Chain A
Amino acid sequence: MQNAIVLLLLIGAGAYLGFRFYQQFFAKKSSCSSCGVASEPKTNHHK
């Protein structure tokens, strides 16, 4: 059981880091192209 949870956590951690990398370098912007204001009220603060 513990091994299964560890495996899930490992997959989750790897996927999250991959997603962050993609988001940083390749994802399209979800904000207004002229001024950068997010089109959604949900914010997306940079590091």
Chain B
Amino acid sequence: MKIALVGNPNTGKSSVFNMLTGLRQQVGNFPGVTVDLRQGTLSLDHTQHTLLDLPGTYSIFPRSSEENVVREVLCNPTHPSHPDLVLFVADAAQIERNLLFFSQVYDLGIPVVLLLNMWDRALAKGLELDLQKITELFPGITIIQTNARVKLGKNRILERLASELSKPTQSFVGKEALSSEDATIQQQDANLRLEKIRAAQLVTNKKQEKISFSTKLDRLLTHPIWGYGIFALILMIIFQMIFTFASFPMDFIDAQFVHLSSWISEVLPEGQLSKLISQGLIPGIGGVLVFVPQIAILFFFIALLEETGYLSRVVFIMDKLMRPFGLNGKSVVPLLSSVACAIPGVMSARTISDPKERLITILVAPFMSCSARIPVYTLLISLVIPKTYLFGFINLQGLVLFGLYTLGIVFALLTAILLNLLLSKKQSGFHIMELPEYKAPRMANVGITVLEKAKLFITDAGKIIVAISILLWALASYGPNSREQQLQQLQNTAQYQNATAAAQEELYAATALSGSYMGQIGKAIEPAISPLGYDWKIGISLLTSFAAREVFVGSLATIYAVGDSASNLRLLDRMKQETKPNGEKVFTLATGLSLLVFYVFAMQCMATLAVVKRETKTWKWPLIQLAYMGFVAYLSAFAIFNLLS
């Protein structure tokens, strides 16, 4: 049986979904509000049923692509996701408005159960709902009172599900208008339904309206001046936390991979496979897994802000700011989503009805620093920025991280202005949104989000990193015949013969790496990247990180492990020791900042390009984006390196 969760936005649908499925859920490729399609399994009488979480919408008449999804799924019985039963989640405190959409679903003839969620909030507001009248208005329906945030009502839902399928459905005002594309007919249908619902006087005993806690808080958090200041402060605190809280688990994971690598090389018989595992795979995987704590911390705070209802306020206050840049408040959702990953960000731009504003949002979204940049940022910051505190409490490394995120935002907005001037204007978009009430975060929901994101990072990026680590190891371990000659020549030199055993091993590994296939490729591209302060090893990592930005770290880990097989140092320590042929350090402040700026701007993501192509239905825009971002990245990195050198 397929069951769909349907309802208005901010009615606690996700909480109901989590309550019913627990961790038995998957995230799919659904271009909705949050872009992800959440599917879960629900066990009932030893039978598994599919539970589908549809995007929140106010009516069956679509205003955007994600609302169109809901209509398509519900109205088209041949749709693969068409449900056998609908669980309609309604906010008990906003019942009249919620029943408009409910009445439309009811008229479609799909068996539907009305979940009156957030019952406690309705009570706290002094609202009393006449359930008898609701049943009279919609004959035959089952009403279940729930409070999904505290898992209240789960058993009642499960008990009633099976019996609901066989219930006959009736008509509220009829379904003729529901398939109409005519805006006037749609408006008439909505008015008729609302009148009928209001006439039934379902809500009684309203207490005197008081200024709620949410309203008081909104006066501060959406204040034209303080609102922005508080938002900036919250962001800064989050970035401070990322560095402060993550250091212990990161050091621990790092140390475990160093031990594992050393243990594998001791236990396995000497040979190519042993080298591939200890010098290729383990450093490559470990180099990236070490950043899971930081990613988990970032998503923990984002989920926390979303759960409390604060993120909706951010969208609201940003609307005004967005206008001069040719964007609107709806662009904030894709841009904020891009802080996690540009792909859902680009896809969620479908909610923007104006084609020009949508295109601008898609083109600037990859400037927002995504989570794949975190490993690159934190590795390079730890390498070149001292771990000191300004004024005794502001972590300088956290401040630089905050600065990189800000740089991305500023450039996204500047690019938006440029595009706004260059692209022709067609129509002006507007933004309607509802501010949900503030609520205490439900930690289970926060936990599920963190687990989901960390799992995606590990599995999705992990597979590519493993494959690239294997290939990089091979390219770094084998070479043309000339390499053998170089190695023989080295062994005949006085410098080699007079060196200690450890130094000999180091010299040998460095020459072997330099003469390998990877060394040849790296040196071929070196002239193009040396003006930015990069050597050929960094160049190779830049190339491979086009698959995904975090691959940069895994690639460096593999390259340095092959080139320094004698010691089992952490990647950070290896990078600190890395020197140029003239003895200068490779990773200076100038090189580090140049690389950081390069990664803020460069479109180093194959998957994002593919999605931009899919969304814009042309190669023109992704290629322009690639060229523009590459140009900005190169120029900025060049300027930074030469200014600081």
Contact = CB atoms under 8 A, between A and B. Distances in A.
Interface of A: 2-3, 5-6, 9-10, 12-14, 16-17, 20-21, 24-25, 29, 31-32, 34-39, 41, 43-47
Interface string B56-86: 0000000001001100110000011100000
A16 B467 contact: yes
Interface stretch (B24-32, B132-140, B421-429): B24-32
Contacts of A32: 72, 79-81
Contact of B72 (A17, A35, A41, A46): A35
27 contacts: A5-B273, A6-B474, A10-B474, A12-B467, A13-B467, A13-B470, A13-B471, A14-B471, A17-B467, A20-B464, A24-B606, A25-B606, A25-B610, A32-B72, A32-B80, A35-B30, A36-B37, A37-B28, A37-B37, A37-B80, A41-B39, A43-B27, A44-B29, A46-B607, A47-B341, A47-B456, A47-B461
B272 A35 contact: no
Contacts of B463: 16
Given A17-B471, A20-B464, A43 B548 contact: no
Contact of B468 (A2, A17, A34): A17
Nearest to B342: A47
Contact of B29 (A21, A34, A36): A36
B613 interface: yes
A10 B471 contact: yes
Interface in B245-287: 269, 271-274, 276
Interface in B446-487: 456, 460-461, 463-464, 466-468, 470-471, 474
B241 interface: no
Contacts of B413: none
B30 A36 contact: yes
B611 interface: yes
A19 to B, nearest CB: 10
B471 A37 contact: no
A21 B606 contact: yes
Nearest to B471: A13
B27 A37 contact: no
Interface of B: 26-31, 36-37, 39, 50, 65, 68-69, 72-73, 79-81, 269, 271-274, 276, 341, 343-344, 347, 456, 460-461, 463-464, 466-468, 470-471, 474, 547-548, 605-607, 610-611, 613-614
B28 A44 contact: yes
Given A2-B272, A24-B610, A32-B79, A45 B460 contact: yes
Nearest to A18: B467
Contacts of B474: 6, 10
B257 to A, nearest CB: 19
A3 B26 CA distance: 39
Contact of A45 (B36, B79, B273): B36
Contact of A38 (B29, B269, B271): B29
Contacts of A9: 276, 470
Contacts of B37: 36-38, 43
A36 B69 contact: yes
Main SS of chain B's interface residues? helix
A28 to B, nearest CB: 11
B55 to A, nearest CB: 10
A10 to B, nearest CB: 5
A46 to B, nearest CB: 5
Contacts of B276: 6, 9
Contacts of A10: 470-471, 474
B347 to A, nearest CB: 8
A43 B29 contact: yes
Nearest to B452: A45
B29 A45 contact: yes
A45 B606 CA distance: 15
Contacts of B607: 24, 46-47
Contacts of A14: 467, 471
Q: Which of B28, B72, B273, B341 has the most CB of A within 10 A?
A: B28
A30 B571 CA distance: 40
A23 to B, nearest CB: 9
Contact of A37 (B73, B341, B470, B614): B73
Contact of B68 (A16, A35, A38, A47): A35
A13 B465 CA distance: 10
B73 A35 contact: yes
Nearest to A40: B80
Given A37-B73, A43-B26, A45-B456, 10 more contacts: A2-B273, A3-B273, A16-B463, A17-B471, A20-B547, A43-B28, A45-B26, A45-B29, A47-B460, A47-B607
Contacts of B69: 35-37
Nearest to B69: A35
A38 B38 CA distance: 11
A44 B343 CA distance: 13
B547 to A, nearest CB: 7
A16 to B, nearest CB: 5
A37 B78 CA distance: 13
Contact of B343 (A2, A31, A38, A46): A46
B80 A45 contact: no
A12 B463 CA distance: 12
A33 B27 CA distance: 19
A19 B69 CA distance: 30
Contacts of B50: 41
A31 B180 CA distance: 26
A39 to B, nearest CB: 5
Contacts of B29: 31, 36, 38, 43-46
A31 B37 CA distance: 12
B9 to A, nearest CB: 18
A6 B28 contact: no
A38 B547 contact: no
Nearest to A32: B80
Contacts of B73: 35, 37
Contacts of B79: 32, 37
Contacts of B269: 2
B609 to A, nearest CB: 8
Nearest to B31: A36
A31 B295 CA distance: 30
